[in-house]
Each structure stands twice: as C-alpha cells, then as structure tokens.
C-alpha cells in the first residue's frame, strides 16, 4: 500500500473545500437541474463539501459522511453536476489514503450511480443521457485512481525486492569472506603450529647435543639441523600457496594439495620429535581432494598436539574406510590436556575442518588414558560435490 503522511484539519484543507462549495453553489444557481436550488438544497450542497476538509485526516469517515449528504441532494433532484467535483475529490482522496479501497469505492460508486441514474430516469428525456455521462466520469476517475495505485504499489514492490536482493548479495558476500578468512586461518594455524612445534623440538635436540657431556656427534647434529631446514622449506612452500590465495593471484602453489599420501611424512616428523608413532592406512585408496586435505590437516594438528602438549611416548595414527566414510583416528598414551582440552584453536580448527566436508570429529580422553581424536569424513557426499562441479 502506498503510504502518504496524514495531517489534521488546516487552512490548506478548509479553504479549498469552501472554494469548491462556492463554485458548486454558483453552478447550481446558474444552471439549475430538474429542481431549482432552494435553502434546503443549498444547505445540503454546502454540507456535502464539509467532509473534504477532514478527508485527508480521516479518509473513511470523510467518504461516508459525503455519501450520506449527497444522497438526499441527488434524490431531491437538485443540480447533479454541481456535486461531481466534490464526489471525484472524495473518491480520489480515499483511493490514495484509505484502506480496502476496492471494496469501499465500489460500494460508494454503486450507491451514487443508482441514486443519480434512478432520479434521471424519473426525470426522463435528455437528463438520462446527461446523468449517465456524469456517472461515467465518476467511474472513470475511480478506475484511473485504482490503476495509479496498482502502478505505485508495483513500483514499491519492485523497489523493495531490488533492495532485498542487494542486501542478500551483500550478506552472501560477507558470509563468503568470513568463510574464506576462517579457512585461511585454519590453514595458517595447522601449517605454522605444526612446523614451529617440530622446529622447536628439533632445535631443542640440537641444543642438547651441543650442551651434552658426551663427545659431539657431528652427523647427529647435522641430521637435526637438516630436519629443521626441511621443515622450514615445507612450511615456506605451503605458506606461499596460502598467501597467493590471500593476494588473489592465479599462480598455483608448487606441488600437489596435501592428502593421505603426506601422512607418512607427518608420522616421520613426529618420530623425529621423539614420539614412537604407528601408522595404519591400508585400504584407503584414492580419496576426493577435499577429504584428503581434511584428513591430512586433522592428522597434522593432532600429532602437533601430541608432540607439544601430551608428553606422550607412543601414538597411533589410523585411516580406514568404514560405513561409506573415512575414519581418521589419532591416539596417544600421554597425560592428555589439562582441563579436558588444550588451550588455543587446535581442536576447534579440527572440528571446523571436519564440518567443512560434512563430517564430525570427537576429541577427548581415551578409555585407557591418553587422548584420542576421531574424525568421520563422509565419502559419498564428497563424491556428489565433485560430480556437481
């Protein structure tokens, strides 16, 4: 509905209504109809214009009052044309400001038409044609106003839909930006936390060799430093790929995306940190890329937590297909995180990583102590997404 501000009775409303009443009285005197204008007719004529002064404030009561006053005027066979402007103004005002416009205007126009046409037929002759012309003019105004209202309502609807679509696009863009930022944050956390932890462990081992009482084993020290250098190279490669995504460049990072084939490297790196790690990945086969990346990152973060937090001696990593999904499990025999969960974003990042491919992840103390991370990643959904692409 078109909304127009409503105001109270002011000179801007009363003066035009009085002017219109004066013109109508002059018309009724100069061109009398079936019956000349007398005192009663003049009173009805002027009173019929009074509702025009309040119709902007109260559209429905104003229209009802006008119809009640003009019906006796027409029934008394005074000059019908004199009231046509007031009737048109009232109908137009209600069409713009009122409610349930179609029903109310139809009833009002019908009452006026029946009244005027009935009186004209009683008068006979050319008066019938004249009054029919009057009715046609009133009805034409009503129809024109209705068309105008529909057009305005349609424009308002189109404008509202366009604004809503624009808001939806902006919200979608913000959502995608937030999701991409979260994904990059997970990648950076997984990469940097794992690499820095391994570098810290191996640097500590190298420092221990230098400070030890036994003769320096140069080969052992060289291996520790070489492992640190290799971890730095791997971290730099993955970090370069992540930064390319941030910068929006088309250059692809070197190598292939991390996946199950890289879990062995993670296990060997954890062993280099002093943890005895068993790996079981028989029968995994080829996995969809997003599932492979998720599995790799979950194992990477879980082993990082084992090296960094658990004070464990042994850990077991297993990847297996079960029930149409890939089950990833990392368990250790350490003390487990204090308070039930390690500080930071590690477990939260693993949960988000699993959810990003439609999977679930549980992390908590094991039945025999230590800490266990178990993720179930659905393969059927991943295959469907790949096919849709």
Residue-wise pLDDT tens digits, 9-22? 567 788 888 888 88
Burial 236-247 (b: 16+ CB within 10 A, else e): eebbebbeeeee
CB 78 within 8 A of CB 45: yes
* Angle at which helices 289-305 and 379-388 cross, to 10°: 140
pLDDT tens figures, 208-218:
777 767 777 77
Q: For residue 2, tell me if it sits in a domain.
A: no
Residues 156 and 279 occupy one common structural domain: no
pLDDT of 340 higher than 90: no
Q: For residue 235, tell me if it sits in a domain.
A: no
Nearest C-alpha neighbor of 356 from the set 295, 306, 305, 299: 295
Among 10-14, 151-155, 158-162, 360-364, the minimum mean pLDDT is found in 10-14
How far is residue 190's CA from residue 370's CA, in Å, rounded to a whole number? Answer: 22
pLDDT band (50, 70, 90) for residue 53? confident
Question: Which pLDDT score is estimated for 362?
Answer: 92
% of the chain exceeding 90 in pLDDT = 7
Question: Which pLDDT score is estimated for 119?
Answer: 58
Which of the listed residues 130, 164, 198 is the one where a domain comes to its end? 164
Q: Is 236 helix (H, G, I), strand (E, B) or coil?
A: helix
Q: What is the CATH number of the domain that holds 370?
A: 3.30.565.10
What average pLDDT is seen over the chain?
75
How far is residue 176's CA from residue 182's CA, in Å, rounded to a whole number? Answer: 10
pLDDT of 203 higher than 70: yes
140 or 124: which leads in pLDDT: 140
pLDDT tens figures, 75-117:
777 777 788 788 878 877 777 776 665 666 666 666 666 665 6
Average pLDDT over residues 36-61: 85
Average pLDDT over residues 14-34: 82
Q: What domain range is 44 assigned to? A: 11-164
Among 135-144, 178-187, 234-243, the minimum mean pLDDT is found in 135-144
pLDDT tens figures, 283-298:
788 888 888 888 988 9
Question: Which pLDDT score is estimated for 361?
Answer: 93
Which of the listed residues 164, 183, 205 is the one where a domain comes to its end? 164
Instruction: Provide the 10 A C-beta neighbour count for residue 102.
Output: 12
Question: Which pLDDT score is estimated for 135?
Answer: 62
Average pLDDT over residues 41-61: 85
Residues 28 and 157 occupy one common structural domain: yes
How far is residue 45's CA from residue 64's CA, in Å, rounded to a whole number? Answer: 15
Q: For residue 62, tell me if it sits in a domain.
A: yes
Average pLDDT over residues 350-365: 89
End-to-end CA distance of the chain, in Å?
Answer: 44
Q: For residue 342, tell me if it sits in a domain.
A: yes
Q: Pairing relation of β-strands 325-332 and 314-322?
A: antiparallel
Task: Sort 352 into a burial class: Cβ within 10 Å, 0-12 / 13-18 / 19+.
Answer: middle
Q: Is 357 helix (H, G, I), strand (E, B) or coil?
A: coil
Q: For residue 221, tell me if it sits in a domain.
A: no
Question: Which pLDDT score is estimated for 301?
Answer: 85
Question: Which pLDDT score is estimated for 316?
Answer: 92
pLDDT of 181 higher than 60: yes
% of the chain exceeding 70 in pLDDT = 71
Q: For residue 324, tell me if it sits in a domain.
A: yes
Which of the listed residues 131, 164, 197 is the one where a domain comes to its end? 164
Question: Which pLDDT score is estimated for 7?
Answer: 46
Q: For residue 281, tell me if it sits in a domain.
A: yes
The count of domains in the chain is: 2
Top-ranked range on mean pLDDT: pick from 65-69, 307-311, 381-385 = 65-69
Nearest C-alpha neighbor of 18 from the set 46, 43, 57: 46
Q: For residue 176, tell me if it sits in a domain.
A: no
Strand order in the sheet with 314-322: 276-280, 314-322, 325-332, 371-378, 360-365
Token pair of 4, please?
A: 């127009």
């Amino acid at each position: 509905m078109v909304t127009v501000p409503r105001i109270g009775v002011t000179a801007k409303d009363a003066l035009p209504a009085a002017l219109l009443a004066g013109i109508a009285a002059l018309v009724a005197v100069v061109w009398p109809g079936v019956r000349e204008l007398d005192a009663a007719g003049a009173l009805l004529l002027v009173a019929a214009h009074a509702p025009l002064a309040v119709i902007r404030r109260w559209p429905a009561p104003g229209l009802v009052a006008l119809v009640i006053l003009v019906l006796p005027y027409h029934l008394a066979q005074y000059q019908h044309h004199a009231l046509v402007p007031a009737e048109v103004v009232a109908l137009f005002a209600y069409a713009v400001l009122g409610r349930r416009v179609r029903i109310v205007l139809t009833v009002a126009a019908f009452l006026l038409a029946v009244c005027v046409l009935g009186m004209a037929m009683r008068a006979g002759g050319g008066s019938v044609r004249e009054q029919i012309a009057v009715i046609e003019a009133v009805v034409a105004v009503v129809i024109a106003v209705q068309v105008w209202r529909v057009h305005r309502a349609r424009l308002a609807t189109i404008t509202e839909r366009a604004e809503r679509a624009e808001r939806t696009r902006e919200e979608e863009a913000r959502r995608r930006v937030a999701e991409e930022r979260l994904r990059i944050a997970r990648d950076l956390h997984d990469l940097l936390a794992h690499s820095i932890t391994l570098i810290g462990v191996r640097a500590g081992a190298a420092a221990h060799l230098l400070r030890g009482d036994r003769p320096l084993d140069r080969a052992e020290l060289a291996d520790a430093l070489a492992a640190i250098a290799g971890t730095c190279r791997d971290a730099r490669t993955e970090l370069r790929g992540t930064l390319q995504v941030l910068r929006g460049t088309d250059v692809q990072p070197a190598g292939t995306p991390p996946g199950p084939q890289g879990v062995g490297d993670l296990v060997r790196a954890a062993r280099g940190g002093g943890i005895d790690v068993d790996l079981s990945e028989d029968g995994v086969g080829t996995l969809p890329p997003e599932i492979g990346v998720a599995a790799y990152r979950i194992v990477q973060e879980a082993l990082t937590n084992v090296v960094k937090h658990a004070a464990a001696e042994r850990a077991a990593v297993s990847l297996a297909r079960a029930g149409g999904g890939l089950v990833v499990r990392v368990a250790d025999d350490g003390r487990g995180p204090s308070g039930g969960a390690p500080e930071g974003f590690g477990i939260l990042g693993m949960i988000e990583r699993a959810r990003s491919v439609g999977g679930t992840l549980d992390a908590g103390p094991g039945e025999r102590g230590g800490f266990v991370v178990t993720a179930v990643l659905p393969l059927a959904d991943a295959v469907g997404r790949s096919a849709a692409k």
